[in-house]
């Protein structure tokens, strides 16, 4: 892609101190999972890092920034916190079990706080996010030598290449996720059995233990839709429902992170959401970027297959490039 080439070229000139050149006072990295294992529900949709790569990221971030807790970040937003360096708040999304098994022990050893934005619809492994189902279907399809013709009928993909079929499966939207159920049935793939045996998500008990250990748990919508596909009323319903659940169960009720992206979310959504005075801020995932909604902070996706150092240099270069054209700020209408 031309965009990637431009960013890589500009990043080559970013040889300075990241702490000095980082254009904002805060850095907000997003991860989903850290694992040394091959996870079939994630390996087709997320380029998650292994433990060594994750620890290298943390070590680099700690050289450039001051890690903060949720309370410190809240005080920063309110103008009450004066850090010694630019700050970094570590965030995770989706509440995968590896946060408890793998990530938390690493963070405890290093003395680093993180907040995990979770979907109540998946807690205790009640259901599986639709993109995870797509990943499982592709893995199952690749294992089979004899596929039920009904699979191709459902997908309307007769005589298409395997690569095109994979793209079609990954392209199935939240609003059409029932297609994934039909595809799985034709492959004799049982999502309920996978949830029971593999337990990919955190349980309510594990979330409470993580809270006792000092980590944060907050809202990420009820079941992970793509927001710009929904009318504003449904956006608000799934947002507020998830926030209520988290608050009622003793977790953070003062923040929210958009699933996937906040692209296309209107100013009217934020105006209505922030009528709830308990909600301090929200988080998107557009990289280093400003937002016309001052309490909506953009985070940096870290699972690109690159190190934190390389990724941040690219983000800094791209921010500077877009600033030349006054395009480094999201304007809500």
Q: What CATH number is attached to the domain comprising 215? A: 3.20.20.370
Q: What angle do CA 256, 288, 244 make, to 5 degrees?
A: 0
Does residue 285 sit in the same domain as residue 310?
yes
Report residue 158's pLDDT band, with 50, 70 and 90 as the boundaries: confident
Does residue 242 sit in the same domain as residue 102?
yes
Residues 6+ apart with CB under 8 A from 220: 93, 94, 95, 117, 118, 119, 242, 256, 257, 258, 259
Main-chain phi, psi angles of 6, to 5 degrees: -65, -45
Residues 6+ apart with CB under 8 A from 274: 295
Does residue 52 sit in the same domain as residue 181?
no
Of the residues 169, 195, 221, which one is the last residue of a structural domain?
Answer: 195
Does residue 141 sit in the same domain as residue 271?
no
The structure tokens 């956006």 sit at 235
Mean pLDDT of 300-311: 97
| Domains identified in the chain, total number | 2
Global pTM reads: 0.95
At 176, list the tokens.
């059409």
Report residue 19's pLDDT band, with 50, 70 and 90 as the boundaries: confident
Mean pLDDT of 282-309: 97
Does residue 188 sit in the same domain as residue 208?
no
Residues 6+ apart with CB under 8 A from 217: 95, 115, 116, 118, 207, 210, 211, 246, 251, 252
Residues 212-228 pLDDT 10s: 999 999 999 999 999 99
Does residue 206 sit in the same domain as residue 109?
yes
Q: What is the rounded distance in angstroms from the CA atom of residue 65 to the CA atom of residue 137? A: 40
Does residue 190 sit in the same domain as residue 309?
no
At 203, list the tokens.
């349980």
Counting residues of the chain whose pLDDT is more than 90, the rounded percentage is 92
Mean pLDDT of 319-333: 93
The pLDDT of residue 274: 98
Find the DSSP H helices in the chain. Answer: 2-11, 18-21, 51-64, 70-77, 98, 104-110, 130-143, 149-155, 162-170, 178-186, 191-198, 204-212, 232-248, 267-273, 308-324
The pLDDT of residue 153: 96
Mean pLDDT of 73-96: 96
Q: What angle do CA 175, 197, 109 make, to 5 degrees?
A: 95
Does residue 22 sit in the same domain as residue 64?
yes
Residues 6+ apart with CB under 8 A from 79: none
The pLDDT of residue 327: 93
142 is in which domain, residue-wise? 130-195
Residue 260 zone, left/alpha/beta (φ > 0; ψ -120 to 50; rest)? left
The pLDDT of residue 11: 61
Q: What is the rounded distance in angstroms from the CA atom of residue 266 to the CA atom of residue 274? A: 13
Residue 3 has pLDDT above 80, yes or no: no
Counting residues of the chain whose pLDDT is more than 70, the rounded percentage is 95
Does residue 187 sit in the same domain as residue 241?
no
Mean pLDDT of 303-313: 96
Does residue 159 sit in the same domain as residue 88?
no
Burial 260-287 (b: 16+ CB within 10 A, else e): bebeebeeebbebbbeeeebbbbbbbbb
The structure tokens 């199935």 sit at 172
Does residue 185 sit in the same domain as residue 261?
no
Residue 13 has pLDDT above 70, yes or no: no
Helix (H, G, I), strand (E, B) or coil at 211: helix
Residue 91 has pLDDT above 70, yes or no: yes
Does residue 255 sit in the same domain as residue 321?
yes
């Amino acid at each position: 892609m031309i965009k990637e080439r431009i960013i890589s070229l500009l990043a080559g000139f970013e040889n300075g101190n990241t702490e000095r050149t980082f254009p904002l006072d805060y850095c907000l990295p997003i991860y989903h999972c850290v694992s040394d294992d091959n996870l079939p529900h994630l390996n087709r949709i997320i380029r998650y890092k292994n433990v060594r790569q994750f620890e290298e990221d943390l070590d680099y971030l700690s050289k450039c920034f001051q890690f903060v807790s949720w309370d410190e970040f809240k005080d920063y937003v309110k103008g009450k916190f004066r850090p010694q360096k630019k700050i970094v708040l570590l965030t995770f999304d989706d509440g995968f079990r590896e946060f408890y098994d793998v990530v938390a022990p690493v963070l405890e050893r290093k003395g680093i706080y993180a907040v995990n934005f979770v979907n109540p619809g998946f807690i205790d492994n009640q259901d599986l996010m639709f993109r995870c189902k797509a990943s499982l279907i592709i893995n199952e399809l690749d294992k089979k030598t004899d596929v039920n013709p009904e699979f191709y009928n459902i997908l309307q993909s007769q005589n298409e290449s395997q690569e095109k079929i994979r793209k079609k499966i990954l392209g199935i939207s939240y609003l059409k996720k029932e297609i994934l159920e039909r595809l799985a049935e034709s492959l004799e793939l049982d999502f309920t059995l996978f949830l029971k045996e593999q337990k990919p998500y955190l349980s309510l008990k594990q979330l409470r233990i993580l809270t006792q250990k000092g980590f944060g748990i907050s809202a990420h919508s009820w079941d992970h839709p793509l927001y710009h596909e929904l009318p504003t009323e449904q956006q608000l319903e799934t947002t507020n429902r998830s926030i209520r659940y988290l608050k009622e169960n003793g977790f953070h009720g003062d923040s929210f992170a958009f699933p996937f992206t906040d692209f296309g979310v209107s100013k009217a959504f934020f105006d209505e959401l922030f009528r709830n005075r308990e909600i301090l801020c929200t988080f998107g995932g557009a990289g280093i970027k400003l937002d016309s909604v001052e309490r909506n902070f953009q985070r940096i996706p870290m699972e690109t297959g690159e190190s934190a150092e390389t990724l941040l240099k690219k983000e800094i270069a791209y921010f500077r490039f877009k600033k030349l054209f006054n395009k480094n700020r999201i304007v809500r209408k």
